[in-house]
Homo-oligomer: A and B are copies of this chain.
Amino acid sequence: MDKGRFGRAIEEIKKGKRFIVISHVNPEGDAIGSLLGLALALKGMGKEVIAYLEDSVPDVYNFLPGREMIVHTPEGIGKVDATFAVDCGQMERLGGRFVSFNGKGTVVNMDHHITNSYFGDINIVAPEASAAGEIVFDLLTEAGIKITPDVATNLYVAIHTDTGSFRYSSSSPEAFKKAGELVRFGADPWVIASRVYENYPLKRFKLLSMALSTLEVLNGGKVSTLKVTLDMLNSVGGGKDMVDGFVNFARAVEGVEVGVLFRECGEDEYKVSLRSKGSVDVSKVAGQFGGGGHPNAAGFNIKGGFEEVKKQVIDALHASLGGAQKICQKT
């Protein structure tokens, strides 16, 4: 929090009456939880609050308190006193319709991405936070705004999902401490976990069954691959979102450093997802193919026949793994 302070954000809350709370396109748990947590907290103070997401909310988050508040277009909103953007690194990622909207008021940018562009009038950027939900928690705490069970549930989901159920290295002492406080305020870990992690359509497991049947370990055991074809998706009647998380099964094989998922997305076209246990920075590998991401999670799109694409990816990973292992296949 080198730039920006809660002081100025709290001032905006105190003096304003109408607010937008917004997060990024393609929203996930931290975006939606932080947004709804802040929106409900402000509403609880008697403010008029518009919860805005340009994209739709994944079904899995439909249980979140305040979900029904979310609108997807700025039409009819009119001018607000301030817009609170949470978990969003760049203005463009709020969505094209919102960027063109003229009624934003003071823009308060509250984010934890180190790449944040400081696009707000007020910027509270805390890369050390595991989730934007932590920053919202800190704001509410400093401002003395009540954290109700509904607010706590949303902020807990934000932290829970962005730390991968408290498994990623972002699971800091502060993240645990705040999660514990949110449980004290009424978030229910089991109800939330069962809604987030035990709420998949039957056909996703049928698809997983097919995908796992393709599992291979390569590169002397350091790389594992999975494949999902359009035929598989069509046979279960699933959309591409259904494949989310499958790549983690590839990484979860013992001895494997990098898990790879090839998802066919068109004729001779693949979406490649990479997940690393830590020894390889897969964002650099993805970068070689025009993609990007984080050191442990990255991806890119690539054109070509499957065997050709696979060879290119495995060769690039082989080089990143130090090239010490002879590429060989175990089944």
Q: Which of A72-80, A108-116, A202-210, A300-308 contacts B (4 or more CB under 8 A)?
A: A202-210
CA distance A251 to B195 in the complex (A): 11
For the complex, give the distance between the alpha carbons of A12 and B208 in Å.
53
Cross-chain pairs A/B with CB under 8 angstroms, 30 sampled: A165-B165, A165-B166, A165-B167, A166-B166, A166-B179, A167-B190, A167-B197, A169-B189, A171-B189, A172-B183, A173-B180, A173-B181, A175-B180, A176-B177, A176-B179, A176-B183, A177-B177, A194-B277, A194-B278, A197-B252, A200-B253, A200-B254, A201-B253, A201-B254, A202-B215, A206-B213, A208-B212, A209-B209, A209-B212, A209-B213
**8 A Cβ contacts from A204-231 to B:** 205-206, 208-210, 212-213, 215, 217, 224
What B residues does A176 contact at CB under 8 A?
Answer: 176-177, 179-180, 183
A174 within 8 A of B: yes
**A166:B194 contact, CB within 8 angstroms:** no
> Nearest Cβ in chain B — how far from A34, in angstroms?
19
Query: How many chain copies does the complex carry?
Result: 2
- Of all chain B residues, which has the CB nearest A188? B169
**Nearest CB of chain B from residue A107's CB, rounded to whole Å:** 33
Give me the interface of A with B, judged by CB distance under 8 Å.
160, 163-169, 171-177, 179-181, 183-184, 188-191, 193-194, 197-202, 205-206, 208-210, 212-213, 215, 217, 224, 248-249, 251-254, 256, 277-278, 330
| B contact residues around A205 at 8 Å (CB) | 212, 215, 249, 252-253
Known A205-B253, A206-B213, A209-B209; 20 more pairs at CB < 8 Å:
A160-B166, A163-B189, A165-B167, A166-B166, A167-B189, A167-B197, A171-B189, A176-B176, A176-B179, A176-B183, A177-B177, A190-B278, A198-B252, A198-B256, A199-B254, A200-B254, A202-B217, A202-B224, A202-B330, A208-B209
